[in-house]
Amino acid sequence: MAKGKTSGRQTGRSPQPIPALRFSERSQRARERAVQALAAMRRGDTLSRAARDNGVTIRTLKRYIGSALVQDRPGGRIRATKTDRLVRYLQIPGPDGPRDVTVRGSKTASQFAHYKAAINRLLRGDRNAMAAWHGRKIAGIELITDTKTLVEQARKDLLPYSIYRSLAGGAA
């Protein structure tokens, strides 16, 4: 065989990560399930339990979230890191409706989740829910904290994750 050529057989290497922007819709769904499995592992599930419960294989988990998994010794248990730098695609309220944002890291994604929880508390009637968020930015993104804007978007059904629909008597 010539120098630099391989036999074409599979090596024992792990699957290579794929840049998120080139995912097909099927791959995007698999990646979302893999990120959900990672969250389950952080709540205490084992790798195999998290994979099974979220409908993905361990190989798929390693492909999409491999950088967030660690193994302390060969043959040892694979566990999730406390945080990660994975890219996540989120939807947050913007001035004129939902805004798609791309964030890197579990800490930033968690901050957006806390912000969304505050919006839902506001929609349930907690007038002080947005007080801690006034003037704040997450990952350089200015957050909408105006009560009138948020309630109006919820009424127009522009906040897909809000509980407003169920409170207003609509289908949840």
Q: Kindly report, residue by residue over 9-66, the tens digit of the pLDDT.
A: 555 554 555 455 567 899 999 999 999 999 999 999 999 999 999 999 999 999 999 9
Given a cut of 80, is residue 172 above it in pLDDT?
no
Strand pairing partners for 78? 71
Residue 4 has pLDDT above 60, yes or no: no
**If you average pLDDT over every residue of the chain, what do you get?**
85
User: What residue ranges do the domains of the chain occupy?
Assistant: 20-80, 87-167
Q: Which residue has the tokens 């007080």?
A: 131
The 3-class secondary structure across the chain, one letter per residue, is CCCCCCCCCCCCCCCCCCCHHHCCHHHHHHHHHHHHHHHHHHCCCCHHHHHHHCCCCHHHHHHHHHHHEEECCCCCCEEECCCCCCEEEEEEEECCEEEEEEEECHHHHHHHHHHHHHHHHHHCCCCCCCHHHCCCEECCEECCCCHHHHHHHHHCCCCCCCCHHHHCCCCC
Percent of the chain with pLDDT over 70: 80
The predicted model scores a pTM of: 0.75
What pLDDT shows up at residue 162?
60
Average pLDDT over residues 79-97: 92
**Separation CA 51–CA 76 (nearest Å):** 17
Give me the pLDDT at residue 96, please.
87
> What band does 156 get if pLDDT is binned at 50, 70 and 90?
confident
